[in-house]
Amino acid sequence: MKKTEKPEKPVILTCAQPSGVLTLGNYLGALRNWATLLDTAECFFGIVDMHSITAKNVPAELRKNSISCLAQYIACGMDPERCHLFMQSHVIGHTELAWVLGCQTPIGDLQRMTQFKEKAAKLGFSVTEGEDNGMRFSHDGARAQASVNSGLLFYPVLMAADILLYNADQVPVGDDQRQHLELCRDLARRFNHNYSDTFTVPEPLIPKQAARIRSLQAPEKKMSKSDDDPLATLYLLDPPKLIRKKIMSAVTDSDGEIRFGTDKPGISNLLQILAATGGESIETLVHSFEGKGYAELKSATADSVVALLEPVQKRYEELMADKGYLESVLKVGAEAAQQRAYRTLSKVYRKVGFYPRAR
Ligand code: TRP
């Protein structure tokens, strides 16, 4: 690099499946943090619709969720003027690179992925490791096996391709994606070793102290979008009235004391939510609620969540009313992503020995 040249900004990439509505936890733990990265890095944010079809879904819903997901991202602060927002299926290279990487990935490595095992187990299929690290099926395994699609097994390879295609330096992910990212790093190193230096080995960017928001109805578990209890989870797009209803009916305990501790999961969760949304520390909050009742804590928490989400929801509505704008964001995003993707893909194709196409 010449002395006068500015060093390139680091490249940050992350992706999420277009699974409909985001939760308050997604916003506080992920999106809000991503939005702070825009000025110091070149950021790529992908909506990974191709990952979504590993699970059953209705095409019309996938389409609707994808555009809604984009609007939610932008409303949460991912300013399209300062980052690249794109749909995975709009960029050629994700599946192409996944194929190449897959040809260097032992099946056993994929069968060992915790998330694969969990998802497979949900389909009634149990996996135990044999000496060869392969799968052993349970008694009813033969039938169940047929219902696990191979896309589910290949999922982490596609995810690795999402990252390596852009030569990302850093990848913001939740703790549950640590293992997938480790596989991605292995694949990058393996390719670099087998051919020659091609991929940046990406670093995970895991939030130091992300607020751990828990279910309002069963605060010993994480707040999750797949919860069956309609009162358990706060969604980004819940109307204020519903937010209040959910928080006012949150499960607490009967000792009447407002303090933070493992023996008080319900109250601690409300304090966490209030701290994460209002910006005051838990200590300060505990102090200011001394001698007050649970109802007061709940109503302050509800006010705080509503105040934080109201502008986000307003922006979301405006965006959804302007599909032309959203589509133009995707067009520009896909062009930027494609440019970078082609560079990597052509390098990879050359290195693995594919005969070059005449120009
Ligand atoms: N598997 C990730 C999740 O469920 C989503 C994902 C796909 C992803 N591709 C990615 C995340 C690339 C980061 C980078 O959260």
Give me the phi and psi of 43, to 5 degrees please.
-105, 135
Query: What is the distance in A from the centroid of ligand 1 to the CA of 134?
Result: 25
User: Are the C-beta atoms of residues 83 and 329 closer than 8 Å to each other?
Assistant: no
Q: How many CA atoms lie within 13 A of 39 on its CB side?
A: 2
For 309, other C-beta atoms within 10 Å of its C-beta total 24
Residues 327 and 259 in one domain: no
Range of the domain at 303: 240-318
Residues 195 and 58 in one domain: yes
So which residues are the catalytic ones? 119, 222, 225
Task: Read off the pLDDT band of 139 (50, 70, 90).
Answer: very low
Question: Is 302 part of a structural domain of the chain?
Answer: yes
**pLDDT tens string 197-249:** 999 999 999 877 667 899 999 999 999 888 999 999 999 999 999 999 999 99
Q: Is residue 36 over pLDDT 80?
A: yes
For ligand 1, atom 5, which residue shows the shortest CA distance? Answer: 16
Residues 177 and 291 in one domain: no
- Mean model confidence pLDDT for the chain: 92
Residues 159 and 259 in one domain: no
Strand partners for 15? 46
Q: What is the CATH number of the domain that holds 62?
A: 3.40.50.620
**Would you state the pLDDT for residue 21?**
85
Query: What is the distance in A from the centroid of ligand 1 to the CA of 52?
Result: 11
- pTM, entire model: 0.90
For ligand 1, atom 9, which residue shows the shortest CA distance? Answer: 159
Query: What is the distance in A from the centroid of ligand 1 to the CA of 148?
Result: 20
Query: What is the distance in A from the centroid of ligand 1 to the CA of 200?
Result: 17
Residues 75 and 190 in one domain: yes
Question: Is 99 part of a structural domain of the chain?
Answer: yes
**Would you state the pLDDT for residue 57?**
87
Q: Is 48 in the pocket of ligand 1 (CB under 6 A)?
A: yes
Q: Is 83 in the pocket of ligand 1 (CB under 6 A)?
A: no
Residues 191 and 61 in one domain: yes
**Would you state the pLDDT for residue 146?**
57
**Would you state the pLDDT for residue 144?**
53
Residues 294 and 329 in one domain: no
Residue to mutate, 48, 69, 86, ligand 1, most ligand atoms under 8 Å from C-beta: 48
Residues 330 and 292 in one domain: no
**Would you state the pLDDT for residue 128?**
55
For 120, other C-beta atoms within 10 Å of its C-beta total 21
Number of domains in the chain: 2
Question: Is 114 part of a structural domain of the chain?
Answer: yes
Nearest to 337 by CA among 101, 99, 161: 161
Residues 269 and 309 in one domain: yes
**pLDDT tens string 150-165:** 999 999 999 999 999 9
Question: Is 228 part of a structural domain of the chain?
Answer: no
Residues 202 and 60 in one domain: yes
Q: Is 162 in the pocket of ligand 1 (CB under 6 A)?
A: yes
Region of 200 (left: φ > 0; alpha: ψ -120 to 50; beta: rest) is beta
Average pLDDT over residues 327-335: 98
For ligand 1, atom 14, which residue shows the shortest CA distance? Answer: 14
Q: What is the CATH number of the domain that holds 272?
A: 1.10.240.10
Question: Is 102 part of a structural domain of the chain?
Answer: yes
**pLDDT tens string 61-108:** 999 999 999 999 999 999 999 999 999 999 999 999 999 999 999 999
Residues 254 and 327 in one domain: no
Residues 97 and 78 in one domain: yes
Give me the phi and psi of 259, to 5 degrees please.
-150, 170
Question: Is 298 part of a structural domain of the chain?
Answer: yes
- Residue 296 and residue 129: Cα distance in Å, rounded? 52
Question: Is 47 part of a structural domain of the chain?
Answer: yes
Question: Is 90 part of a structural domain of the chain?
Answer: yes
**Would you state the pLDDT for residue 131?**
47
